[in-house]
Amino acid sequence: MPSSSSPDPEGPPATKPRAGSKALIREINEALVLDVVRAQRPVARANIATTTGLSPATVTGITSKLLRAGLLIETDVVRGTGGRPARLLDLGSDAVVAAGVRLSDSDAFVLLVNLRGEVVASHQEPLASTDPDDVGKAVARAVRAAKAGRASATLIGVGIAVSGVVDHAGGAVRHSGSLGWDDVPFQAQLTSLLEAPVAIDSYVNCVASGLLLFDGRLAGRDLLVFSVGTSLGASVVVQGRIHRGFNGAAGGFAHSRVGAGAERPCHCGALDCLETWSSHWGIQRELERRGRPGDGLAERDDDLVTEAADRLGIAMANASKMFGPEHVVVAFTQEMNMPALTTHVEKVFRRQYEHDNTPAPDLELTATDPSTHARGAAYTVLAQMFTTATHHAHVTSGRNAFTAG
């Protein structure tokens, strides 16, 4: 099996492999080799054998097969002290692509990435409405338009990023305030429209997936990733893997309560959720209540910014103290990335640790845009090329959609 440091944000493939079968062993070994190349690229075959524990002959056989399939290429030459010069191996860039779609209430934004995680195509498709049928058709059009320029590459899967509560295992959007959806089986709907496997996840888990796959700093670490934008979200990462909890409920951050308040109504049906105070949606609703619809949060709104930052910083610290992560990432979307907000959130978060027995985790504030979510959604699919697991699963594996050789 791949090591625990291998990024596996999406979990194992949906088909249950036959334990001990030759096909399973080959699949595991191919994933091991691809993962080492991903982490060390470019890399010599001898290093692959040392890292994986596979015999040199097995590595030679696997890499030859992956070279024929275009998943690997030979690159620079390394000259040793004796014998024949060795060619280094790198990930191929043309054989396969993964699509990532960022859904909003106005459009479907698609990116195609190759096996190296590089963006090779994009397309933006407006939505006629947020009706699931209309959205599904728009996504299918957008993916086909992006894929048109990469006809020779195999599309191994489509990842969908949605703002809200997502049952990743069941392929359903449980609740999305921005789309007005409740219990929409969107994965099944899209699978019937696209000739490729489909995976659905929340904005914040897609941000986490984007961080895990090609950022060596975060491999195998315990993290919390918070998303601050139209909605709020949290992703719990344990040893480099997204932890989803029972029924995918881990990271239920937006609909928690922090402190007493004015009992603002939330789109989930509850009152005074953190979402109503610290998300862009919640702040917009409060502006409407104050008779300023469409005005938008601005630096001058000192009280709104302070309220939003106070509750958000405290909630983030409470979650961090319970989980004890090494690193915390807070990702602000463009409309929420204001110094008055981000600076105060950081200050409030750090203040919660002033009298704590343990030091505060590393805190990283970053900005996101639609491409961040779309790329992360594509990475949720792409990551399956580098991992193989044998327990229960929920998404058809990209490895099953593309056979090497």
- Tell me the pLDDT tens digit for each residue of 372-401: 999 999 999 999 999 865 333 344 444 444
CATH number at residue 29: 1.10.10.10
For residues 235 and 352, membership in a common domain is answered with yes
Q: Report the half-sphere exposure of 286 (CA within 13 A, side-chain side).
A: 22
How much helix, strand and coil, in percent to the nearest 5, is found in the chain? 40, 25, 35
For residues 80 and 101, membership in a common domain is answered with no
For residues 75 and 175, membership in a common domain is answered with no
List the alpha helices (DSSP H) in 324-361: 339-351
pLDDT score recorded for residue 391: 35
pLDDT score recorded for residue 17: 43
Indicate if the pLDDT at residue 224 is higher than 90.
Answer: yes
How far apart, in whole angstroms, are the C-alpha atoms of residue 55 and residue 74?
A: 20
pTM of the shown model: 0.85
Indicate if the pLDDT at residue 147 is higher than 90.
Answer: yes
For residues 393 and 323, membership in a common domain is answered with no
Question: How far is CA 402 from each of CA 78, 154, 224, rounded to the nearest angstrom?
Answer: 31, 7, 33
Domain that holds residue 285: 216-368
For residues 165 and 128, membership in a common domain is answered with yes
Contacts with 225 (C-beta within 8 Å, 6 or more apart), sequence order:
204, 207, 208, 211, 234, 235, 237, 328, 329, 331
Q: Report the half-sphere exposure of 392 (CA within 13 A, side-chain side).
A: 2
Average pLDDT over residues 184-190: 95
Which of the listed residues 54, 75, 91 is the one where a domain comes to its end? 91
Look at residue 8 and tell me if it is in a domain. no
For residues 190 and 69, membership in a common domain is answered with no
For residues 266 and 318, membership in a common domain is answered with yes
Phi, psi of 195 (to 5 degrees): -90, 55
Mean pLDDT score of the chain:
86
| 245-278 per-position pLDDT tens digit | 877 778 788 888 887 777 899 988 889 999 999 9
Indicate if the pLDDT at residue 15 is higher than 70.
Answer: no
How far apart, in whole angstroms, are the C-alpha atoms of residue 196 and residue 67?
A: 23
Q: Find out whether 240 and 247 touch, Cβ atoms under 8 Å.
A: no
Look at residue 11 and tell me if it is in a domain. no
For residues 227 and 178, membership in a common domain is answered with no
Q: Find out whether 136 and 190 touch, Cβ atoms under 8 Å.
A: yes
Question: How far is CA 250 from each of CA 1, 77, 246, 255, 327, rounded to the nearest angstrom?
Answer: 25, 46, 7, 12, 18
For residues 280 and 380, membership in a common domain is answered with no
Look at residue 302 and tell me if it is in a domain. yes
Average pLDDT over residues 53-73: 95
Average pLDDT over residues 185-204: 93
pLDDT score recorded for residue 252: 80
Look at residue 84 and tell me if it is in a domain. yes
Which of the listed residues 71, 91, 111 is the one where a domain comes to its end? 91
How far apart, in whole angstroms, are the C-alpha atoms of residue 402 and residue 157?
A: 10
User: How sure is the predictor about 141, in pLDDT bands with cuts at 50, 70 and 90?
Assistant: very high
pLDDT score recorded for residue 301: 65
For residues 327 and 221, membership in a common domain is answered with yes
Look at residue 147 and tell me if it is in a domain. yes
| pLDDT, greater one: 6 or 64 | 64
Task: Supply angle C-alpha 63, 66, 70, rounded to 5.
Answer: 135
Look at residue 292 and tell me if it is in a domain. yes
Indicate if the pLDDT at residue 10 is higher than 50.
Answer: no
Indicate if the pLDDT at residue 47 is higher than 80.
Answer: yes
For residues 272 and 345, membership in a common domain is answered with yes
User: How sure is the predictor about 298, in pLDDT bands with cuts at 50, 70 and 90?
Assistant: low
Average pLDDT over residues 329-336: 94
CATH number at residue 150: 3.30.420.40
Smallest CA-to-CA distance from 130 within 158, 164, 102, 107 is with 107
pLDDT score recorded for residue 16: 43
Strand partners, 101: 110, 160
Q: Number of structural domains, the chain?
A: 3
| 83-128 per-position pLDDT tens digit | 667 789 999 999 999 999 999 999 999 999 999 999 999 999 999 9
How much of the chain exceeds pLDDT 70, in percent?
87
Look at residue 150 and tell me if it is in a domain. yes
Token duo for residue 279: 């998300």
Which of the listed residues 75, 91, 107 is the one where a domain comes to its end? 91
How far apart, in whole angstroms, are the C-alpha atoms of residue 8 and residue 208?
A: 11
Look at residue 12 and tell me if it is in a domain. no
For residues 385 and 285, membership in a common domain is answered with no
Indicate if the pLDDT at residue 359 is higher than 90.
Answer: no
How far apart, in whole angstroms, are the C-alpha atoms of residue 50 and residue 320?
A: 37
pLDDT score recorded for residue 214: 86
